[in-house]
Amino acid sequence: MIREFSLPLAIILIGIVSTNVFADKPRQWSDATGKFKITASFLERKGDSVILEKEDGKKLTIKIEKLSVADQAFLEGLEAANPFSEMSEEEAGASKTTSSNSDNSADGDKVPPAGKFDWSDIEQIEILGGDRWEIPQPEMPGLGFEPKKVPLPKKGHFFEGMQPLALNLSSKKVAIGYLTGFSLPTPVARLVMGDLETGKMVSSDTVEANMKPLCLLNDGATVLMVGFDEKGEGADHVQSWKLKGKKIERGDLWVPFANDTTNSEERRRGRSEREVGYVAFGVPLADDLVLMCSNSGHMACFDIKTRVPKWHVLLGEPPAIGYNADNSLMSFINGKQLVVMKTATGEIVGQISIEDKGHIPWPKVAFSPSGKRIAMAAWDRVFILDVEKKEWIQELSFPGTNVGNAFAFPDDEYVLFDNKVLIHWPTRIQLWTIQDAHVASVAGEWAFLGCNTDSGGILFPTKLPTSKAISTLEAAQKQSDLFVVRPGSEMSIDVTGVPQQYKAKVSAGLEKAIQKIGCKVNPNAAVKVLASISGPKQEAVSYHMSGSHVVQTYQSRIVLQYNGQDAWATGGTNIPGMVMLSQGETMESYLAKASTTPNLAVFEGVTLPQYLQKPAPKGPNNQPQPFNTIGSSKLTANGLQ
């Protein structure tokens, strides 16, 4: 037994002694990549940096995270070797500040810097292939109060921007962030807290910072802020802000995904090592838990008191997640599956294949307020899933439109595109447009809309659809001509804008597209399909890693007109935005070939809308309305009008 353990013990002791004895002796240091090396002596460590002295007497300050693993281990050995080293006056002052910040943090206790733990010790959830469906249906008792509108301060600066809302309905509070980074010497952040139950603005304070709200914790007073860009705190940094009275007390900065490193896939996407750790979103859960996800799709459920995750999962990309009304369940797309998980534990309770749905670009998912339906949206398509029956009950297509940056399910019979366009999915009616909402967030059956103007702002809670929208829908359903295109309707074809040599091919492609949606071709129909090809036009195009090229461009365009008014359009060019070269093919030869003819595939492969509403009446100055909806509301500082 003695021989078995004496040798390793001796090695450990030698390592500690040698690190301590030779700390101030010159040694070779290298960066994390191994490309850069210097010979220098260790002087001291200050915060997250180390000060080195070269042989010529010049001193260098280097971030520890940029050093090699061996050098970081050497520094850790120094600290372990001398636990009684004296602290400089500057460090002592910093320690007091940190201690003060810790005392004022959400939990009131000192916490370790997050992200420096060993992820292998954390439970990792594996999403394997499968087809399970055991989704609990929690009771949805409602909020227990009716949210009131909250008046907000007027715009503080011409360039001030309103950031996404940080709602916490369990605490009946909301945090609203404002940023002013442009044209000022230092970035300025403003944080406003509102009470949704009383309808009062609780507090507001402005600080020199470049951070925006990530989420509002359940205490209703602590906001997790995340860095906005590289002007100040980076987007990989998180900090707790607490408004006490009129002032903000800031905790210490920490990096939730500090140990994440780039891999070949991330480098291919052009992301730096720091960008991989950017925090994409944060959601407060019960029991002091916060769900966060990095820019590389590393999702983890953190205990906010210890800053240590309970579980984590590697997704490859940050998903667009939909949550049920109490945030106990989440749903997202992973590969060719729709996945439902419990947020607190990471337990997978539902998996269903979406392979038969075809290409799903940039998918978004949302629960209905009751939790009985899940909607999946991708570009111009929407799929409705009945959760209890595990059955897809509706597929909608709106060619020429786009779900945009946001997607919500504010009512069991309505979906919301881009926080603007409300669609009654059982009838496919594009019902209502919400205009001039600078921020919007849907939670359960409530939509919270915010605006920021020179005369004042407002946070306006409302249920969607509004009573006015419902009455408009009831009237619209009685109109026989609401849809100018629907299965069985007639359409004419006009190819006068197409060069003679392509007319037959274009006409045949459009006739096939009309028949595909169950319509008929009639030269006298009120709905006309117009095709046109313009060009060639000489232009310069640039491709990543290929440089600029001179090409001949043609524009192919299709427009649906109703009684002479444009109702829908699509098109394309012969020069693609992305090029996949065959073996032995060069970019020059590919573009030379593409420049010779227009893109006829636009006409041969077009999918026309199966349902198309009558074009909206034109607005002031005979300008077309931004969306083809029946009605609209505008958000002002006085509310929704």
DSSP line for 285-345:
-STTEEEEEETTSEEEEEETTTTEEEEEEE-SS----EE-TTSSEEEEEETTEEEEEETTT
Give the number of other Cβ atoms within 10 Å of residue 461's Cβ: 21
Instruction: Tell me which of 471 and 156 has the higher pLDDT.
Output: 471
Q: Distance between CA atoms of 121 and 264, rounded to whole angstroms?
A: 24
Highest mean pLDDT (candidates 222-231, 267-276, 374-383): 374-383
Each residue's pLDDT tens digit, 544-598: 677 889 999 999 999 999 988 888 888 999 998 888 888 888 999 999 999 999 9
Which has the minimum average pLDDT: 134-143, 378-387, 399-408, 504-513? 134-143
For residues 490 and 455, is the Cβ–Cβ distance under 8 A? no
The pLDDT assigned to 641 comes to 87
The answer to whether the beta carbons of residues 614 and 590 sit under 8 Å apart is: no
Under 8 Å between Cβ of 290 and 279: no
- The per-residue pLDDT for range 34-69, each reduced to its tens digit, is 667 788 888 887 777 788 887 777 777 787 877 887
Is the pTM here over 0.75, yes or no?
Answer: no
Q: What is the mean pLDDT of residues 488-507?
A: 96
Q: Using alpha carbons, select from 431, 322, 435 the residue that is nearest to residue 369.
A: 322
The HSE-up count of residue 278 (CA atoms within 13 Å, CB side) is 18
What gap in Å lies between CA 145 and CA 125, rounded to an integer?
37
Q: What is the pLDDT of residues 396-423, one digit of tens each?
A: 888 777 888 899 999 999 999 999 999 9
DSSP string for residues in 38-63: EEEEEEEEETTEEEEEETTS-EEEEE
Q: For residues 223 and 195, what is the distance between their CA atoms, to the nearest angstrom?
A: 14
- The DSSP 8-state label assigned to residue 133 in this structure reads B
Task: Return the pLDDT at 77.
Answer: 66
What's the order of all strands across the beta sheet hosting 37-46? Answer: 27-30, 37-46, 49-54, 59-63
Q: What is the per-residue burial (b if ≥16 Cβ within 10 Å, else e) of 102-131?
A: beebbbeeebeebbebeeeeeeebebeeee
How far is Cα 435 from Cα 641, in angstroms, rounded to an integer? 10
CA 65-71-75 angle, to 5 degrees, is 85
Q: What is the pLDDT of residues 156-198, one digit of tens each?
A: 777 788 999 999 999 999 999 998 766 567 788 899 999 999 9
Please list, in sequence order, all residues whose beta carbon lies within 8 angstroms of the beta carbon of residue 33, skipping any fewer than 6 positions away: none
Q: Residue 216: phi, psi to the nearest 5?
A: -105, 125
* pLDDT (0 to 100) of residue 85: 40
